[in-house]
């Protein structure tokens, strides 16, 4: 495999990453409650990541928990106001965790050995700790825990699905890269990887699956169902990353990436192609859509089973 890590993205790249990450806004009425920060109430392995949570006024008994991960240069507040999950929580009574990256530029650490290892520390362990806190604090349903994110948050979605597969039942990735693709051979935290971002990191399905397996050695349990979105005009994380991500999870699930069970053109929108390999893996490729693919909240709920 061809991995070349660089220390960090330039400010221009980070700025472009953020401004090219539009998401669907919630309805003008807004949520019934407000975003709240949780401080000093959960063990944070990184010692830095911030936890914000949205709890609707009408909380369901044993509510589901959704983790919503922001993009580079984003914040928990920005993803709270720019994504539809709080409004959907009002309707369905689930809890939303909005983690906030502690790093300059607020990209997530998807490059260090710590974050790419189960219980290794750094951001992936911090997010897992937030989930454990929410399940206990709000009497959540451990069988209904989900994760999603856009751009850098999509990268972390893939990483946490690999490092904590026993924690999540499903994951939705909006314009990311395969788990481990941004690895830093120097072990750098929150490092930029131009080889990966430019779509030049290629491996077989088996090799990509081994990357996932190495993040949690010895794990043989269930893994979260994966839904992967990517745009054909993505200039930040180039389109070949879609194929590599599909190869990775098809390898993990023992599927043949070249033999999907179903392909639907112009679904769920004109120009979108939805490819289904099994109930564990589905990809949506959006023709002419850049970075990032807009969030489809109601479709997310259907995939999560909510």
Alpha-carbon span 239 to 244, nearest angstrom = 9
Q: Is the peptide bond prior to 250 cis by the omega test (within 30 degrees of 0)?
A: no
Sheet bearing 262-265, strands edge to edge? 35-38, 50-54, 95-100, 65-69, 145-150, 170-174, 225-231, 281-286, 272-278, 262-265
3-state secondary structure the chain: CCCCCECCCCHHHHHHHHHCCCCCCCCCCCCCCCEEEECCCCCCCCCCCEEEEECCCCCCCCCCEEEEECCCCCCHHHHHHHCCHHHHHHHHCCEEEEEECCCHHHCCCCCCCCCCCCCCCHHHHHHHHHHHHHHHHCCCCCCCEEEEEECHHHHHHHHHHHHCCCCCCEEEEECCCCCCCCCCCCCCCCCECHHHHCCCCCCCHHHHHHHHHHHCCCCCCCCCEEEEEEECCCCCCCCHHHHHHHHHHHHHHCCCCCCCCEEEECCCCCCEEEEEEECCEEEEEECCCCCCCCCCHHHHHHHHCC
150 is catalytic: no
- Choose, from 122, 126, 151, 175, the residue flagged as catalytic: 151
Tell me which residues are annotated as active site: 151
């Amino acid at each position: 495999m061809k991995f070349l890590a660089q220390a960090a993205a330039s400010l221009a790249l980070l700025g472009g990453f953020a401004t090219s990450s539009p998401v669907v806004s919630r309805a003008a009425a807004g949520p019934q409650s407000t975003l709240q920060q949780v401080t000093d109430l959960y063990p944070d392995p990184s010692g830095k990541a911030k936890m914000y949570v949205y709890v609707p006024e009408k909380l369901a008994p044993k509510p589901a928990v959704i983790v919503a991960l922001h993009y580079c240069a984003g914040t928990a507040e920005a993803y709270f106001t720019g994504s539809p999950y709080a409004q959907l929580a009002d309707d369905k009574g689930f809890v939303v965790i909005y983690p906030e990256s502690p790093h300059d530029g607020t990209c997530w650490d998807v490059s260090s050995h710590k974050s790419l290892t189960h219980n290794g520390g750094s951001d992936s362990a911090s997010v897992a700790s937030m989930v454990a806190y929410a399940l206990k604090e709000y009497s959540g349903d451990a069988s209904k825990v989900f994760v999603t994110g856009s751009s850098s948050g999509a990268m972390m979605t893939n990483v946490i699905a690999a490092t904590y597969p026993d924690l999540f039942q499903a994951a939705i990735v909006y314009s990311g890269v395969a788990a481990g693709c941004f690895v830093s051979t120097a072990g750098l935290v929150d490092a930029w990887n131009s080889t990966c971002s430019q779509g030049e990191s290629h491996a077989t399905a088996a090799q990509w699956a081994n990357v996932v397996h190495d993040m949690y050695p010895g794990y043989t349990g269930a893994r979260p169902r994966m839904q992967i979105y990517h745009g054909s005009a993505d200039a930040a994380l180039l389109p070949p990353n879609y194929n590599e991500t599909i190869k990775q999870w098809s390898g993990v699930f023992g599927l043949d990436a070249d033999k999907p069970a179903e392909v639907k053109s112009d679904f769920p929108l004109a120009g979108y192609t939805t490819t289904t390999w099994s109930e564990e893996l589905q990809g949506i490729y959006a023709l002419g859509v850049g970075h990032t693919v807009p969030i489809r909240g109601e479709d997310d709920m259907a995939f999560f089973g909510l």
